Structure 1
Amino acid sequence: MTSTTRPLSDGATLSYREAGQGAPVVLIHGVGLQSAAWDPQIEALSMTHRVIALDMPGHGGSSPLAVDATLPDFVAWLARALDALELEAVSLAGHSMGALITLGFAAAHPDRVTRAALLNPVYRRSPEARAAVIARADEIRQGQIDLDTPLTRWFGDSSADQAARADVAEWLGAVDLDGYATAYSAFARGDTTYADRIGTIPCPLWAITGDGDPNSTPAMSWAIAAAAPRGRVLVIAGHRHMVNLTAPEAVNAALTDWLASDTEGAKT
């Protein structure tokens, strides 16, 4: 599947992959990746829906944001992206940094989100974890790129994990370093930005993670769901941070159920 580009209202370029017809589902990947990371979900969900996987700013073919961009700037970018695609209310799912954008957008624009799914989301890190991820963001900004450490943390030794690791390593190796640094800085500092607004999100809000993810922990997903009026949790046993790639059947089944969830009470 090839990428398509479209101009945004601010003159920037949006790159995305699209398949299927029907009600729109928009997918946002994590830091350092690209829309191709959603290929297993695009293939499955496009059987019943119009699926659009976006390249985040500074990733794939999408233009970067300003180097000092914060999470609300990424949320504002998503509003421009949906406007350019002529989409009003959508089902919105994001992974990792994409989950933070999804959460922020659902809080800031509840009338445009019929349901939200957060894959491997972070939420209110401990002071120690927050300091560590900010330090890594600062190292990336300075050009110190260590890919082996996160790859080792994200993947196990199974054949499925190793195949997914090879794909992720390729995407990380190809990412624009400035775009990567900007997104990672927003990711490092964004875990509390919209945390106090989860209770205002009216739509179904699902949190999905792996039981072996040390940074997007099951406890974080449970806390998000507890704070949401219509929260739900799925913890996938035996998997880590890249559940949509290492456990695609389980994630696809969960997202299929999510897309069938009752949106009564959500603003549309």
Structure 2
Amino acid sequence: MNDIHQPAYSAAAPLEARSARFPARIADAGGVIVAYREATAAHATHALPLVLLHGLGSGAGSWVQQLEALGGTRRVLAWDAPGYGVSTPVAPASPRPEDYARVLAGWLDALGVSRCVLVGHSLGAIVAGAFAVAHPARLGGLLLVSPAGGYGAATQALRDEKRDARLAMLAELGPAGLAQRRSPNMLSASADEAARAWVRWNMSCVIPQGYAQATHLLAHADLAADLAHYRGVVSVAVGAEDTITSPAACERIAKAARTPLQIVPHAGHAGYIEAPRAYNALIAAFARACDANRSH
């Protein structure tokens, strides 16, 4: 079965217009609000739902090209993490991965998703890893794309330095300035202007409080340690030209997960935005394998 749906409209259409086909929805996840976007196939009862978790400077709208292509044969859900969009922030000012994983579990409960394939990009991989450890039976598979490892295993001084540098940049520049300065690092040198504009737009929409909490999350997290305790199906992929979570750094995450690292050519950190065909194929193949594994 081909899990990549070919849309009938032009892929060159502005992403803002294309994302309007998947308007933001709201779910009550145990007393907190989670905003999300969804694509649901008419006949996808056999396929595991696919859940997409964005990174630090992004949001649910960044996954529009995956919603388009992968929503033809399965339910695809992309959340705005706590503190992003209109999603309720987590309670702690300096949260840990389990705080986000708890909200994720409540959101999936609210949507009737008992088991899924979970895809985490960058900081989203940290949340995905924490969820996998807390709820292994709820995962058919865990796909980590350009995963951020976190600084939880580093010295306190380094953790504080990394956290404070990001917080200072946010305070100085605000979301719009942050997008102008940081977004070029998210893509490879060959990325087209449409991809660059989309990354800038997503980053400019971050909410300062949510971004600050996620920065604390990054300082506390240790994804490799979480993966060492998870025995489910895991795959790790990275863009060959990723300078934020480099192939070398992702290799260490893959080793912790006991899986080979997949490298996507000609792609940077936000590879699923600049190289959607390659990433859609990668995600679709992984989800199909998880479906097949469930049936055995």
Scaled by the length of structure 1, what TM-score is found? 0.88
Q: How many residues align?
A: 262
- What's the C-alpha RMSD, in Å, of the aligned pairs? 2.5
Selected match of 2:163 from 134, 143, 149? 134
Alignment of 1:1-268 (within 5 A): 1-9=22-30, 11-21=31-41, 22=44, 23-66=48-91, 67-123=93-149, 133-140=162-169, 142=171, 144-145=173-174, 146-158=178-190, 160=192, 162-190=193-221, 192=222, 194-229=223-258, 231-262=259-290
Q: Distance in 1 between matches of 2:291 and 2:232?
A: 6
User: Would the alpha carbon gap of residues 171 and 50 (structure 1) be closer, same or farther in structure 2, given more than 3 Å must change?
Assistant: same
Distance, in Å, in 1 between the alignment partners of 2:226 and 2:204 is 35
Structure 1 pair 42–196 and aligned structure 2 pair: CA distance change class (3 A): same
CA distance in 2, matches of 1:76, 1:263: 25
Deviation of 1:18 (Å):
0.9
Residues 188 and 266 in structure 2, CA contact (< 8 A), matched pair in contact too: no
Compared with structure 1, are the counterparts of its residues 69 and 140 closer, same or farther at alpha carbon in structure 2 (3 Å cutoff)?
farther
Preserved CA contact (<8 Å) 1:203 1:265? no
1:100 to 1:117, Cα distance in 2 relative to 1, 3 A: same
1:35 to partner: Cα distance: 0.6
CA distance in 2, matches of 1:84, 1:220: 35
Which residue of the partner structure matches residue 7 of structure 2? none
Distance 1:261 1:166, change over 3 A: same
Relative distance call for 1:151 and 1:141 in structure 2 (3 A) is closer
| Post-superposition offset of 1:264 | 8.1
- Long gaps (5+) in structure 2: 1-21
Aligned counterparts of 1:19 and 1:124: Cα–Cα separation in 2: 31
Seq. identity, %? 29
Q: Deviations over 1:102-157 (max 9, x none)?
A: 11111221111110111110226677985653232331564554333321222244
Contact 2:117 2:141 in 1 (8 A): yes
AA at the equivalent of 2:85 = G
> How big is each residue's C-alpha offset from its partner over 1:57-108, in whole Å with a ceiling of 9 and x where there is no partner?
1112211113222222111111111111121111000111111111111122
Indicate conservation of the 8 Å contact 2:179/2:201, yes or no: no
Superposed displacement of residue 165, structure 1: 1.8
1:184 maps to a residue whose letter is T
The one-letter amino acid paired with 2:240 is: D
1:234-263 deviation per Cα after TM superposition (whole angstroms, max 9, x unaligned): 111222110100111110111111012257
Partner AA of 1:4 in structure 2: R
Distance in 1, matches of 2:234 and 2:201, equals 31
- Which TM-score applies when normalising by structure 2? 0.80
Say if 1:122 and 1:217, in contact at 8 Å, map to a contact too.
no
- Structure 1 Cα separation of the partners of residues 191 and 268 of structure 2: 14
Partner Cα distance (1:228, 1:264) in 2 = 21
Residues in 2 aligned to 1:92 and 1:228: alpha-carbon distance in whole angstroms: 15
